[in-house]
Structure 1
Amino acid sequence: MVLQVRGVVLPEREERSFWIDGDRLRAGTAPDADRVVDGGWLLPGLVDAHTHPGTEDTETPFSDATLRRHLTEHRDAGVLLVRTPGSAARIPDWVDEDPELPRVRSAGRWLATPGRFFPGFGREVSEADVVRAAVEEATASSGWCKVIGDWKHDEPALPLEILTALVEAVHSIGGRVAVHCQTTEGCHNAVLAGVDSLEHGMHLDPDLIDRMADQGTALVPTLGVFGAAADRARAAEPSARRDWLLTGWDGMPPNVRAAHEAGVTILAGTDSFPCGTVTSEIEWLVRAGLPAEAALGAASWSARSYLGLPGLVDGAPADLVAYDTDPTRDAAALAHPSRIILRGRVVR
């Protein structure tokens, strides 16, 4: 049975018709097709650009069953592409072969130098070995690697010269580098090293934003998880770490807004559980000052483009989400897709 869809495509706001050829979209109409979407609004599948399916805490081992459950939660919310910037284990090959699961762009295992991550979680390597390890993880994954660039607020970040050498080595094989950073020094080193994505970016010096835009460094602020952490910190006893967290949080929304205005690519990522909640991160981006369309793009067409996939055009992957009303004007619609199509198959 050939499937047919018609609707107003975002972000172009043009009415288009497509028929589905296997797992690809074809422009136009096909005779005797089953029209599964006839009107409404069509989006490229939603994207969570910072999620860690497969394990929910540092005490629980990574498992295939948990990975499948998490990816299914994403899919059922219309999240049809995920990027996993670091994991306790490499994402297994069967994920890409399963037509029921979202497409995955993985970064292999977290890379952490001693003292800069949860003990025993991810892959711990020495500063002398981290460049080689980054190339290994990028080669074994979807071309990405993820490095913990800093950790505790009162301890030094991964040195700039090491991070610079790491970025150069990964870029030389066509890979990309994501870096966890939440301290001033960590953000500074990541931007100056020319990383591809800044994960979190708390305590980012706003003077670095123009450089991020010029060199193409994306910002994945994960506002929801840091906003929740700030709420917990306000209820905690006074401490240096509490002050550091609250000060950093106060600067995050203004920095996200300034980064968007400067032309930095903003990506929506949740970094939290349950999976399938990227629509809440869209709301956080709007609260930070992004226009509704830009915030939605950060979790759809802009994110897909950044990760190497097209929007809804002839020949594109047949991954789309349909809504009865314009989700840029009716935010509540995002939680209620009328149709979800993944790899050319109707999921909902």
Structure 2
Amino acid sequence: MLCIRGIVLPEREERVFRIDGGVLREGAPPGGLARRDTELVVDGGWLLPGLVDVHTHPGARSTDEPFDEELLREQLGEHRDAGVLAVRTPGTAARMPAWVDEDPELPRVTSAGRWLATPGRFFPGFGHDVTEDDLVRAAVEEATASSGWCKVIGDWAQDEPAVPLPLLTSVVEAVHAVGGKVAVHCQTTEGSRNAVLAGADSLEHGMHLDPALLDRMAAQGTAFVPTLSVFGARAGEMRAREPGVRRDLWLAGWDVMPGTVRAAHEAGVTVLAGTDSFPCGTVAGEMSWLVRAGMSATAALGAASWTARAWLGLPGLVDGAPADVVAYAADPTREPAVLEHPSRIVLRGRVVR
């Protein structure tokens, strides 16, 4: 029998778990840890219930590439090897193949199906291109065909109109009526506003999000996934460009994003970690950006672990939970660099590293 002992975060309590059929059971087995049939695969250190990336798009590296199942497997493996044991894919170029849920070597995947893009609001042909008249039907179809989520491209160019509020509201109402949830890509003031007022379940990016909307987001449970790391990586390039409407609007949004993230967290909005970039398995970098924005190290770590798991409906390190555990030699809230070097990864009750 495999057993685990260490200090559990966020509670900071030492606990012992045994693994029974891929499930965690709290406490040592009868007869204690010295039993001959017991293997203590983690003895000491700091335990997390698996990292989470709630905004990642495995399966294609660029809009010029078709969806590739072998690449999907490879990139999900990159997540797993970094200790990311659950991901949400808010939009891919194709629906997740059935084998993803059946492969014990891969992280748990919550899929939102294909991106839903109305004319002029996405890379042509990369997602599911639909007319505005067809958007509600397509959103319900994707939500019911995936893990219950759908993803709508709510806006695109900084100086062009977003999906109209009445239409986006109809999408959210229809998807909620079938028990689904809606993620909305938004980078403009209008797009972010419409997503909040429509009652979306998550705002993806929210670059020009009006802080006046944060209390409403908190009250209605709209999560904020700012993907700071992907914007931060691009900021230098954008500043080097010649001034222009789109460049200037982009920079104006980026310059206030860290403050908006901090204000969102302080307002009680669920802020979550998502990378939206490659290589996969880099969610630790997103946590660093959340800390730079003003979140505490513990809150930022939760945004990519226990908080994100609870938001996805996955339990933490408790009796009866799936045996998904990542162990570290030091406290990652005090030594963040340790997140790059998990000492042990247990997925679905099996030691994978």
Q: TM-score, normalised by structure 1?
A: 0.99
Deviation at 1:231, TM superposition (A): 1.6
Answering whether residue 61 of structure 2 is matched by residue 56 of structure 1, we say: yes
C-alpha distance after superposition, 1:36-60 (max 9, x if no partner): 0011100010000000000010111
Answering whether residue 196 of structure 2 is matched by residue 202 of structure 1, we say: no
C-alpha distance after superposition, 1:149-202 (max 9, x if no partner): 000011100000000000000001110000000000000000000000000000
| Distance of 1:61 and 1:121 partners within structure 2 | 8
Deviation at 1:238, TM superposition (A): 1.2
Deviation at 1:22, TM superposition (A): 1.5
| Distance of 2:12 and 2:129 partners within structure 1 | 47
* Correspondent of 1:336 among 332, 336, 341: 341
* Correspondent of 1:114 among 119, 125, 128: 119
Corresponding residue of 2:269 = 264
| Distance of 2:272 and 2:236 partners within structure 1 | 23
| Distance of 1:229 and 1:332 partners within structure 2 | 23
Corresponding residue of 2:17 = 18
Corresponding residue pairs, total: 347
| Distance of 1:20 and 1:231 partners within structure 2 | 47
Deviation at 1:230, TM superposition (A): 1.8
Determine helix, strand or coil for the equivalent of 1:129. helix
Question: Equivalent residues in 2 for 1:59-138 (5 A)?
Answer: 59-138=64-143
C-alpha distance after superposition, 1:252-277 (max 9, x if no partner): 10000000011100110000000000
| Distance of 1:180 and 1:47 partners within structure 2 | 19
* Correspondent of 1:221 among 223, 226, 229: 226
Corresponding residue of 2:303 = 298
* Correspondent of 2:188 among 183, 189, 209: 183
Corresponding residue of 1:238 = 243
| Distance of 1:146 and 1:239 partners within structure 2 | 30
Determine helix, strand or coil for the equivalent of 2:179. coil
Determine helix, strand or coil for the equivalent of 2:261. helix
| Distance of 1:227 and 1:36 partners within structure 2 | 38
* Matching residue's letter, 2:71: T
C-alpha distance after superposition, 1:207-262 (max 9, x if no partner): 00010000000000000111122221011111111100100001110000000011
Corresponding residue of 2:8 = 9
* Matching residue's letter, 1:176: K
| Distance of 1:33 and 1:184 partners within structure 2 | 57
Answering whether residue 151 of structure 2 is matched by residue 146 of structure 1, we say: yes
| Distance of 2:308 and 2:126 partners within structure 1 | 28
| Distance of 2:121 and 2:72 partners within structure 1 | 25
Corresponding residue of 1:155 = 160
Determine helix, strand or coil for the equivalent of 2:241. coil
| Distance of 1:107 and 1:28 partners within structure 2 | 37
Determine helix, strand or coil for the equivalent of 1:90. coil
Determine helix, strand or coil for the equivalent of 2:346. strand
Corresponding residue of 2:32 = none
* Matching residue's letter, 1:27: E
Determine helix, strand or coil for the equivalent of 1:128. helix
* Matching residue's letter, 2:82: A
Determine helix, strand or coil for the equivalent of 1:219. strand
C-alpha distance after superposition, 1:113-163 (max 9, x if no partner): 010000111100010110000000000000000000000011100000000
Identity %: 75
Deviation at 1:310, TM superposition (A): 0.6
Q: Which ranges of structure 2 fall in alignment gaps of 5 or more residues?
A: 30-34
Corresponding residue of 1:288 = 293
C-alpha distance after superposition, 1:302-348 (max 9, x if no partner): 00000000100000010010011110011111111110000101011
Q: TM-score, normalised by structure 2?
A: 0.98
| Distance of 2:38 and 2:271 partners within structure 1 | 38
Point out 4+ residue stretches in structure 1 off by more than 6 angstroms: none
Corresponding residue of 1:313 = 318
Q: Which ranges of structure 1 fall in alignment gaps of 5 or more residues?
A: none
* Correspondent of 1:273 among 271, 274, 278: 278
